[in-house]
Amino acid sequence: MDALACLIAEREIERAILDYAAWNDSGAWEKVAALYSADGRMSRPTAPDDFIVGREAILAAFLARPPRTTRHICANIRITLDGSDHARADSQILLFTGPDQAPLVGTYADRLVHTADGWRFAERRGSLDFPKP
């Protein structure tokens, strides 16, 4: 990949990470699930080893959540391209869930694939950086 193609890919991946947070906060579950490849898998930061596999299962998991107000702040997004169709990304997340609860700090370790629909998460593994004792 030439330098311009690398910059474009990195920006598209960064946008996917930011869209994920924004759509998660707005409850746009179909849009969140569409950011995954058909066989993509995810784990939530509170359960990093419990993967939900497949876009449809991911959508069902989000739809099953009780309504809540959240704000995800993404920072320190670092992307490594592994060729033109594969990438890895790491980012830190600050999650606010309400005025009476302490925010959570976590990390996402992502593997992405480039598809006909753009960059999609093949795996999104969340973890808490400061888990509750």
The CA distance from 24 to 27, in Å, is 5
Q: What would the pLDDT profile of 45-82 be if each residue is shown by its tens digit?
A: 999 999 999 999 999 999 999 999 999 999 999 999 99
pTM of the predicted model as reported, rounded to 2 decimal places = 0.95
The CA distance from 19 to 34, in Å, is 11
Asked if 90 contacts 110 with a C-beta cutoff of 8 angstroms, the reply is yes
Break the chain into its structural domains and give their ranges.
Answer: 3-128
Q: What would the pLDDT profile of 18-51 be if each residue is shown by its tens digit?
A: 999 999 999 999 999 999 999 999 999 999 999 9
Q: Mention every residue, 6+ apart, whose C-beta is less than 8 A from residue 33.
A: 55, 56, 58, 59, 62
pLDDT at 132: 75
Tokens of 90: 């790491």
Name the architecture of domain 3-128: Roll (3.10)
